């Protein structure tokens, strides 16, 4: 009996001394505020490359910056006639240590909820109910951001972006951040 109590005490001691700074890898992979890469697009929305390993689920929504007028265009291009009900933009931390994660199998429309996203320190949010919108970037500081879209069918989609209102072109912007990845 004394040995059992000793083993139980020893087990509790080791459990209490566990390193609290260690994150569950699955939780870290799905953190809302990390940006693991970008799908870059030109001024017309055509893909021009990928940087890093994007943790995105953009579905049938594209976002692309128009640096000439310091705005971002967001457009739903699917066939289901959905609208973007609401969007949230918030700062994100760029991270390169997720290169081996297959986000296409890890992420789905129900990975996050609209409540989780709206609880963050959001830089900009808006109720829009449109299939295409333009977002003015003048109030943003240069940096990485994530954007989440609540669609009219209640699905949640998201993308990563880099915003610099002073950039002169999408290629200039891509060159500016390519060393980050």
More confident residue, 43 or 156: 156
pLDDT over 80 (residue 4): no
Considering 29-38, 67-76, 139-148, the range whose residues carry the highest mean pLDDT is: 139-148
More confident residue, 79 or 17: 79
Give the pLDDT confidence score for residue 125 in this predicted structure: 79
* Tens of pLDDT, residues 84-132: 999 999 999 999 998 899 988 888 888 898 888 888 878 877 888 889 9
Enter the CATH code of domain 44-180. 2.60.40.3080
Using H for helix, E for strand and C for coil, what is the string for the chain? CHHHHHHHHHHHHHHHCCCCCCCCHHHHHCCCCEECEEEEECCCCCEEEEEECCCCECCCEEEEEEHHHCEEEEEECCCCCCCEEEEEEEECEECCCCCCCCHHHHCCCCCCCHHHHHCCCCCEEEEEEECEEEEECCCCCCEEEEEEEEECCCCEEEEEEEECCCCCCHHHHHHHHHHHC
Give the pLDDT mean for 61-79.
84
Q: What percent of the chain has pLDDT over 70?
A: 83
Give the pLDDT mean for 148-163.
93
The domain locations on the chain are 44-180
More confident residue, 122 or 28: 122
Answer yes or no: pTM beyond 0.95: no
Comparing 9-13, 42-46, 173-177, the range with the smallest average pLDDT is: 9-13
pLDDT over 60 (residue 68): yes
pLDDT over 90 (residue 9): no
More confident residue, 21 or 142: 142
């Amino acid at each position: 009996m004394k040995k059992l109590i000793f083993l139980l005490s020893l087990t509790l001691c080791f459990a209490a001394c566990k390193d609290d700074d260690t994150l569950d890898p699955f939780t870290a992979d799905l953190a809302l505020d990390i940006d693991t890469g970008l799908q870059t697009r030109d001024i017309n929305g055509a893909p021009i490359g990928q940087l890093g390993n994007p943790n995105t689920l953009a579905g049938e929504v594209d976002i692309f910056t128009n640096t000439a007028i310091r705005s971002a265009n967001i457009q739903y291009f699917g066939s289901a006639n959905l609208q973007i009900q609401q969007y949230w933009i918030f700062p994100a931390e760029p991270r390169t240590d997720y290169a081996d994660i297959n986000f296409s199998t890890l992420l789905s429309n129900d990975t996050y909820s609209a409540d989780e996203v709206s609880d963050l320190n959001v830089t900009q949010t808006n109720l829009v109910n449109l299939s295409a919108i333009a977002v003015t970037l003048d109030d943003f500081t240069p940096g990485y951001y994530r954007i989440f879209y609540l669609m009219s069918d209640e699905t949640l989609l998201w993308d990563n972006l880099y915003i610099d209102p002073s950039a002169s072109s999408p290629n200039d912007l891509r060159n500016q951040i390519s060393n980050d990845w």
